[in-house]
Amino acid sequence: MRLCKTVEEVRSFVTSVRFEGKTVGLVPTMGYLHPGHLSLVHEAKRRCDVVVVSIFVNPTQFGAGEDYQTYPRDLQRDAGLVADAGVDAIFAPEAAEMYPPGFSTSVDVAGVSEPLCGASRPGHFRGVATVITKLFNIVRPDMAFFGQKDFQQVLLIKRLVEDLNMDIQIVDVPIVREADGLAMSSRNVYLSEEDRKAALVLSRSLSLARQLVAEGERDVARLKERVVREIQSEPRAEIDYVEILSVPHLKQLDLLADNALLALAVRFGKTRLIDNTVLEA
């Protein structure tokens, strides 16, 4: 497996495999990999000849006071995990390689970036859209793989790729959960033992909503209220948002008609976790 630290190294690797007629899949990550990331790698391996994993904790998608400095990093462990998974190259640049002095360009996706994490984390999705545009231009993959845990991010990247005429297929892969239901996240390592238990309220409240919809509930306000009440039953949980929005435009809904996204962001101590499910009306 190749470990590329510079744009030039990864470009030269991709150019050489392309020259052999091979297809290239990219799995963009911020590292500290868990089975959710590895499911993206497996899907990429299944669909592309060569797989590149990027590992870059992107400073521009963190706001002031967020966890950019403390975000967990362990490149050596990550490299072992993806090598075992059959990845062909890691692209792990330093921040200065991605944002050299004088850097001044940004990419914005209006609309889909505005609610949910866009409202809670101003500038977050501008950072995401900009770094993903860069990674796509650097690696020029045929396909790129993203987890549905960041459902809004997936919608944003699909919109970005279509709007800017990038010739890349975006593949989204289901959330991977721990045995007890907690969605895999690099940020789960922040949780104290008590918060780790309390965080099960996320997947429990999603299940509750799915069950209510299966029983015929279509009223969005009532559904949200039940989810909020469920989360509030856990005293360690502090809600950032609970929303039910249309797919793919993330607009407000009164009644479930088509599929809709139920998305949660909840704090446990200093740790903000997100989770979501699609409600099938």
CB 164 within 8 A of CB 157: no
| Cβ-based nearer residue to a copy of itself, 101 or 235 | 101
Cα 281 to Cα 9, 142, 226, 246, 261, distances in angstroms: 48, 34, 17, 11, 11
* Separation CA 81–CA 86 (nearest Å): 9
For a copy of itself, the binding residue among 54, 58, 61, 133 (CB under 8 A) is 133
Residues near 84 by Cβ (< 8 Å), separated by ≥ 6?
none
Q: Is 232 annotated as a binding residue?
A: no
SS3 call for 51: strand
> Among residues 157 and 223, whose Cβ is nearest to a copy of itself?
157
Least separation in angstroms between CB 199 and a copy of itself: 33
Q: Is 49 helix (H, G, I), strand (E, B) or coil?
A: coil
37 noted as active-site residue: yes
* Residue 132 engages a copy of itself in binding (rule: CB under 8 A): no
164 touching a copy of itself, by CB under 8 A: yes
Nearer to a copy of itself, 60 or 205 (CB): 60
The answer on whether 106 is annotated among ligand-binding residues is no
- Running DSSP on this structure, what letter comes out for residue 69? T
Q: Should residue 220 be labelled a site residue for a copy of itself when binding is judged by CB under 8 A?
A: no
Do the strands 260-268 and 271-279 form a parallel or antiparallel pair, or are they unpaired? antiparallel
Rule CB under 8 A: choose which of 66, 94, 163, 238 binds a copy of itself: 163
Q: 37, 42, 124, 249: which one is catalytic?
A: 37
Cα 245 to Cα 75, 186, 223: the distances in Å are 37, 26, 12
What's the CA gap between 175 and 146, in Å, rounded? 10
The site for a copy of itself, by CB under 8 A, has a size of: 28
Sketch the per residue contact string, 91 through 110, with a copy of itself: x for CB under 8 A, - otherwise. -----------xxxxxxxxx
Please identify every residue annotated as catalytic: 37
Q: Which residues bind a copy of itself (CB under 8 A)?
A: 7, 11, 102-112, 129-130, 133-134, 137-138, 140, 159-160, 163-167, 249
The binding site for ATP consists of 30-37, 147-150, 176, 184-187
